[in-house]
Structure 1
Amino acid sequence: MAQNQQRKHSKLGEVVRAYAPLGFITFGGPQAHIALFHDYFIEKFKWVSPKVFSELFSIASALPGPASTQMAYAFALLYAGPVGGAVSFLMWTLPVALIMAAAAIGVSYLPEQLPLVVLKIENGLTSSAIGLTALAAYKLGTKINVDPLTQILGFISAAVAINYSAAWLFPVLMIFGGLVTYLEHYYTTWRARRSEAKAFITPAAVAVAEDETGAAAAPADEEARPSQIATEVVSNRAEEEEDEHIEFSYSSKIGLAVLGIWLVLLVIAIVLKTVPGIPLPLNIFGTFYFVGSIIFGGGPVVVPLLKDYTVSVGWLTDREFLIGFALINSAPGPQFNFSAFLGGLALRSLGWGGSIAGSILAHIGIFLPGLLLMSAIIPLWTEFRKKKYIQVIFRGMGASAVGLVFAAVYLLWSKAVNDVNNANNALSISQFPLYVAIVGFSFLSVGFLKFPSYGAVLVGGLVGLIEWAVVSRQ
């Protein structure tokens, strides 16, 4: 008993050590976060294998809510149980959430346009994040998309995500990938059985053939060979898909109960959001819980929806929203931390205490659905992931997910740099050779020279700072 308690404390300590820097260095948006997680939890801490990482990425991409936060939570949940998951979530979101809550209190003192030094540092940090994202895409692609079908699925996913944007796009691409590999597996199995049926020769037929030729008929072997090949393909793929056994701290029945809690809270949130006369604090929680339950696609999708749900009802002004938006884009961690800023302004009429309460309600409200859903799915996943059809489906989902990481490299590249002359405009990094060099440095140093990923991020920020110092002297 004491030994088990010691192990739990040891694992919690490892969670704290692993997540302590993440809330401060994860710039660049969800896909850049995934890139950093790849470096941390596969290569540095070795908490998960590339295959498990891919499966969790597929699950997070297919669920509503902030995908990178759900992945960060899932790693610790698997490694150290629910307490470890809760600790990881707080360490991942709290640093920037506190800053955004403080900003909500002091919003009247903030400038409409961020200082040039902040913009330059952000550009450098984002450039490093793009390099890390490209590295994650390369590594995941070489480990997961290893045959023609998964490579084609990755290409389709990337091509669609680059050319089209919609809230439902990510889960649809995940489902499409899983369906394709399931149908391919079904067809391969059917062909193998059909070949076996054609190759089957009865003992009587063998005897007749031996009487006539003095040897067993050669066509039997010729017919059997396709069956053997097809069977070997299926068998080899099954061996490749073998992975470590995952023990989890609670059962799938508890997972289903958690799913029920998410659903009940969603119904309550809809009531709190829509029924007139509901107290404002409850209205805030209901609104943000509802948003966290229906959003697919992360920050780029959630921001316009939050604007509609907060500015249009008079909780804050357009100018205040834009100030908070500029701040969250300059900050590390998930963009859903924006909720702490919006909730703080929504309850500012009650003073500092009201602002703090509003930040807490909004922050919990928007993140809770995604955490509940991941908590519900993980035990079901650990129980059923070894089943053949689940493995086959995850093969396609993982391939599509890798395509999304490749798409993220292009999308980040095309709108990575702040336009200092127009706060609402973002420029392609290709127009800035210095930032292109930072991308290359990040990719090369972390991927091939064993430089730590957080070091590459800090170098990017430092280069941005040096650029500002040079520009300001001219």
Structure 2
Amino acid sequence: MTSAPDTAAASRGSVGEVLRAFLRLGVTSFGGPIAHLGYFRADLVERRRWIDEKGYADLVALAQFLPGPASSQVGFALGLLRAGPLGGLVAFLAFTLPSAALLVAVALGASLVEGPIAAGVIAGLKVVAVAIVAQAVVGMARTLTPDARRAGIAVAAIAIVVLAPGILGQLAAIVVGALAGLLLCRRPREEVESSTRFGVPKAVGIACLVLFGLLLAGLPVLAAAVRAPVVLLADAFFRAGSLVFGGGHVVLPLLEAEVVDPGWVGAADFLAGYGAAQAVPGPLFTFAAYLGALSEVGPGGVAGAAVALVAIFLPGFLVLVGVLPFWDALRRRPGAQALLRGANAAVVGILAAALYDPVFTSAVVDGPTFLLAVGCFVLLVAVRVPPWAVVLVGAAGGVLIALVSGVAGVA
């Protein structure tokens, strides 16, 4: 039986609606990729009902398997679902450009993270991420682990991620969950739920996959042949975006190898930019804009930032669009649905493990921050305050804690 959210998700919206939704997410979504998935769920699944819970979990599971920034891929796909190709592009731009602009400003001399008040804001925003992810885990667990078998798969996924931290552990958890779902979560054909369809033609999907392969193989050859600075810069960032799974912090060692090791960006500047990237909303991949603006290879400044930004996001989006038409067909099969039930349960476990480490352990450092986290969670779940408003409450609470701690320290 199709749920009400699924019916709502089937209707198309406008590009303006996508722009407004993702621009607000772009300026309020702090806390990294796991938190971003929580923000998306709260706003676009629960409140706006662009997609149902199961379709959203399917999309998250797919993004975990593909190279590129997982949260940005999910956001792009949601924009695509709501308003077609232009909706996907607008979703990406609105979610990405606020943080990219801030990081380019940092590269060109501005400062975002100095002083006790700024530190308090950052600490408060980390606490908000705890509440957002906790809300997502509770809500998704209610829908995606409704029985003992799928709850057991989620617990097994937590164990795998704890024992094997990092993206390899996450991929292993999803694979194990999918196989367990195939064995334990089959249903008769007539009970298989309908799937959300993204409407990408197979020809377009194949073209995107071919273009991805051509760019991945051809850019290094072109860069070696012409030695043009802009091609060298694009090649470095396209390769980094192509070889990272899960996105987020996983991309940092690849970026360091591409720009610090050859001397394009100094190590101190790299670390300073990474620190600034923690203080801005939106995807961590926008760190590429900072590096492109500073790089001694390429046009530098805003132009260098634009080249680096497009190059690092492009491979993930090409692969996503390339896979979606086949994903639509595959997941309507009963066997694939069983795989996805297990994979979705594993996603719940992965989010639960991430809720503890690094989200909770990096944000909740004492009694006052724990109290602030509980308060933000209650505002989200019980009072139903919008996430953007909870962001403001968390930032104000972080500043208050910092000021009180400073006064107590002086006394």
Question: What does residue 392 of structure 2 align with?
Answer: 458
The amino acid across from 1:296 in the alignment is F
Query: Scaled by the length of structure 1, what TM-score is found?
Result: 0.79
**1:268 equivalent in alignment to 2:205:** no
328, 338, 343: which one aligns with 1:397:
343
Unmatched 5+ stretches in structure 2: 1-10
The amino acid across from 1:49 in the alignment is D
Matches within 5 A, 1:203-214: none
Question: What does residue 49 of structure 1 align with?
Answer: 52
* RMSD, aligned α-carbons: 2.2
Per the TM alignment, residue 362 of structure 1 is displaced from its structure 2 partner at its CA by 0.7
- Indicate conservation of the 8 Å contact 2:230/2:298, yes or no: no
Question: What does residue 252 of structure 1 align with?
Answer: 202
Per the TM alignment, residue 52 of structure 1 is displaced from its structure 2 partner at its CA by 0.2
Question: What does residue 368 of structure 1 align with?
Answer: 314
User: In 1, distance between residues paired with 2:196 and 2:356?
Assistant: 35
**1:26 equivalent in alignment to 2:20:** no
317, 330, 334: which one aligns with 2:279:
330
Query: Scaled by the length of structure 2, what TM-score is found?
Result: 0.91
Per the TM alignment, residue 276 of structure 1 is displaced from its structure 2 partner at its CA by 7.3
270, 273, 292: which one aligns with 1:343:
292
Question: What does residue 386 of structure 1 align with?
Answer: 332
Matches within 5 A, 1:57-456: 57-106=60-109, 114-184=114-184, 234-235=187-188, 239=191, 241-243=192-194, 246-271=196-221, 275=224, 278-347=227-296, 354-413=300-359, 415-417=361-363, 429=364, 431-456=365-390
User: In 2, distance between residues paired with 1:116 and 1:238?
Assistant: 60
- Indicate conservation of the 8 Å contact 1:124/1:463, yes or no: yes
Partner SS for 1:463: helix
The amino acid across from 2:328 in the alignment is T
Question: What does residue 218 of structure 1 align with?
Answer: none
- Indicate conservation of the 8 Å contact 1:63/1:171, yes or no: no
- Indicate conservation of the 8 Å contact 1:340/1:358, yes or no: yes
User: In 1, distance between residues paired with 2:220 and 2:175?
Assistant: 27
User: In 1, distance between residues paired with 2:128 and 2:207?
Assistant: 42
The amino acid across from 2:318 in the alignment is L
User: In 2, distance between residues paired with 1:334 and 1:247?
Assistant: 25
User: In 2, distance between residues paired with 1:184 and 1:451?
Assistant: 38
- Indicate conservation of the 8 Å contact 1:272/1:282, yes or no: yes
Per the TM alignment, residue 159 of structure 1 is displaced from its structure 2 partner at its CA by 1.9
The amino acid across from 1:253 in the alignment is A
Per the TM alignment, residue 470 of structure 1 is displaced from its structure 2 partner at its CA by 3.2
User: In 2, distance between residues paired with 1:349 and 1:115?
Assistant: 33
The amino acid across from 1:255 in the alignment is G
User: In 2, distance between residues paired with 1:21 and 1:291?
Assistant: 28
Residues 236-286 of structure 1 deviation map (CA, whole Å, 9 limit, x = unaligned): x852x413x54544312321221111111111234356x376222111111
- Indicate conservation of the 8 Å contact 1:92/1:333, yes or no: yes
- Indicate conservation of the 8 Å contact 1:259/1:376, yes or no: yes
- Indicate conservation of the 8 Å contact 2:229/2:298, yes or no: no
How many residue pairs were aligned?
A: 398
The amino acid across from 2:218 in the alignment is I
Partner SS for 1:411: helix
Change in CA separation of 1:66 and 1:174 when aligned onto 2, cut-off 3 Å:
same
Question: What does residue 3 of structure 2 align with?
Answer: none
- Indicate conservation of the 8 Å contact 1:272/1:287, yes or no: no
- Indicate conservation of the 8 Å contact 1:101/1:341, yes or no: yes
Unmatched 5+ stretches in structure 1: 1-6, 189-233, 418-428
The amino acid across from 2:115 in the alignment is P
Per the TM alignment, residue 349 of structure 1 is displaced from its structure 2 partner at its CA by 8.0
- Indicate conservation of the 8 Å contact 1:343/1:360, yes or no: yes
- Indicate conservation of the 8 Å contact 1:29/1:335, yes or no: yes
Change in CA separation of 1:410 and 1:238 when aligned onto 2, cut-off 3 Å:
farther
- Indicate conservation of the 8 Å contact 2:129/2:359, yes or no: no
Change in CA separation of 1:377 and 1:463 when aligned onto 2, cut-off 3 Å:
same
- Indicate conservation of the 8 Å contact 1:268/1:286, yes or no: no
Per the TM alignment, residue 413 of structure 1 is displaced from its structure 2 partner at its CA by 4.2
Per the TM alignment, residue 414 of structure 1 is displaced from its structure 2 partner at its CA by 5.0
- Indicate conservation of the 8 Å contact 1:64/1:293, yes or no: yes
User: In 1, distance between residues paired with 2:118 and 2:180?
Assistant: 46
User: In 1, distance between residues paired with 2:115 and 2:254?
Assistant: 27
The amino acid across from 1:400 in the alignment is A
The amino acid across from 2:164 in the alignment is Y
The amino acid across from 1:362 in the alignment is A
Structure 1 vs Structure 2: percent identity of aligned residues?
31
Partner SS for 1:168: helix
Per the TM alignment, residue 472 of structure 1 is displaced from its structure 2 partner at its CA by 4.4
User: In 1, distance between residues paired with 2:155 and 2:181?
Assistant: 15
- Indicate conservation of the 8 Å contact 2:22/2:95, yes or no: yes
